[in-house]
Amino acid sequence: MADKFVTLPEIRKHAKKILPRDVWNFGAGGAESETTRRRNRRAVDRLAIRQDVLVDVREIDLRTQLLGLPLSWPVAIAPMGGLVLFHPEGDKEMGRGAAQADTLQFLSGAAGWSVEDVAKSSTGPKMFQLYHHGDRTWAAELMSRVGGDLGLQVGGPHRGRAGLQPARARHRAPLQPARGHEERAQSARPRSQLSRAPHVG
């Protein structure tokens, strides 16, 4: 499947064709008025790869570091909740893809699987996104399970209204998980972690 695509717009175009409308809106949209999403897009569009000509490119070293973690190239997978909506194996499949690409998987605190299950599913570096909306005992227990690198999510556990642009607001039926894992629909939603602390990850 990956061989069919060369650019990100091609992937987006294909995804829009095959995904249910509400799943597409969830993945492609942003919160509230989507102002931050538009600003992020403009910021990325301002970046350009500097082209050096007449230089020796037989040996290219793309290695770098992210928060002290060595990476073989300057790309990492950001934390994303609700991946089970797009693939039956969700976060575990994303981990496998990250390992295949030899890069970091930043596991969302709103993942649909435990940190242990995701860790066992693939090799490669991983970092966990901690939403600290439990007491300190809960957070300490979770961090002991992670047993490695983590990033602290700064913000309150308030679920914003995602994808509410006028064109999308008319299609707001309940989200459904990818076929084969309907029972994980609730665990894929960020607020589910408030009442299921032992299975955050």
Q: What pLDDT, on the 0 to 100 scale, is given for residue 67?
A: 80
Q: What pLDDT, on the 0 to 100 scale, is given for residue 177?
A: 52
Q: What pLDDT, on the 0 to 100 scale, is given for residue 16?
A: 94
Q: What pLDDT, on the 0 to 100 scale, is given for residue 149?
A: 65
Domains of the chain (ranges plus CATH)?
A: 64-155+163-199 (3.20.20.70)
Instruction: Profile the chain (201 residues) by mean pLDDT over runs of 10 residues.
Output: 80 93 88 88 91 88 87 90 89 92 87 85 86 77 75 59 48 47 42 31 33
Q: What pLDDT, on the 0 to 100 scale, is given for residue 183?
A: 47
Contact 108, 129 (CB under 8 A): yes
Q: What pLDDT, on the 0 to 100 scale, is given for residue 184?
A: 47
**CB hemisphere CA count around 125 (13 angstroms):** 21
